[in-house]
Amino acid sequence: MLKPQDLAVAVVLALPDMGAWTYASLAVRLELSASETHAAVKRAGLAGLVRGRSVDRRALFEFLEHGVRYAFFPVRGAPTRGVPTGVLAPPLDRLMSASEGPVWPSATGSARGYALTPLYRTAPDAAMRDQDVHEVLALVDALRDGGPRERALAVRELRARLAARSSETRGVHADATIPHPYNHPCSRAIRAASTRLLAPSLPIASER
């Protein structure tokens, strides 16, 4: 079964500076243990999001656009202080004016908003160490938690940040149009992954 940190692994592996990644560097960047990182890459591969050492961007964007808000649905809480995410974090905070928005609860956070359970437990720590990681995880949260406008902007910004490297000749440029899931060449694999994703276990509850 795909876990939420597996999606984070796939998204971060798609960043342009991850061309020569190692399991150790990926673990440090995501604030995961070595064993968690190995397991996450393996599950992402079984789900079709990662192929070898490269990300299948077509499958990744299909899942981000059509599946993430159902598979890893947002869990909101009371107003609190924390690390900004979604519409309160870059880059969306520069593109739209939001009167309220989500934060990952943290005593050292700089923003106030309603609590949003992060995609995985140590995501706020990774975000505070690495601006690029913060931005892509915040954009994923906008896809999970936002309305139509926020989701459209988040997809656009993620495509810009996760554009295929020139060395990935089989990759699809992030600006490519993503067809409907049931017409997609990888649709059977994605539907199979979605079936595993929607199993009874909740993505964050299991970590509490």
pLDDT digits (tens, 9 = 90+) for 153-184: 999 999 999 987 545 533 333 333 333 333 44
Q: Say which residues have a Cβ less than 8 Å from residue 37's Cβ, sequence separation at least 6.
A: 9, 23, 26, 27, 30
State residue 99's pLDDT score: 84
State residue 108's pLDDT score: 87
The 8 Å CB, 24+ separation contacts for 182-190 are: 184/58, 184/62, 185/58, 186/48, 186/56, 186/58, 186/59, 186/62, 189/47, 189/48, 189/59, 190/48, 190/59, 190/62, 190/63, 190/67
**Radius of gyration from C-alpha coordinates of the chain:** 16
- Model confidence at 98, pLDDT cuts 50, 70, 90, reads confident
Q: Say which residues have a Cβ less than 8 Å from residue 207's Cβ, sequence separation at least 6.
A: 120, 121
Scanning 47-170, the segments in alpha helix (DSSP H) are 57-66, 68-71, 92-95, 123-129, 131-145, 148-161
Q: What mean pLDDT do residues 54-72 have? A: 97
* Strand-strand pairing, 76-84 and 111-116: antiparallel
SS3 (DSSP) at 31: coil
Is the pTM above the cut of 0.85?
no
Does residue 22 register a pLDDT over 70? Answer: yes
pLDDT digits (tens, 9 = 90+) for 68-82: 999 999 999 999 999
Does residue 2 register a pLDDT over 60? Answer: yes
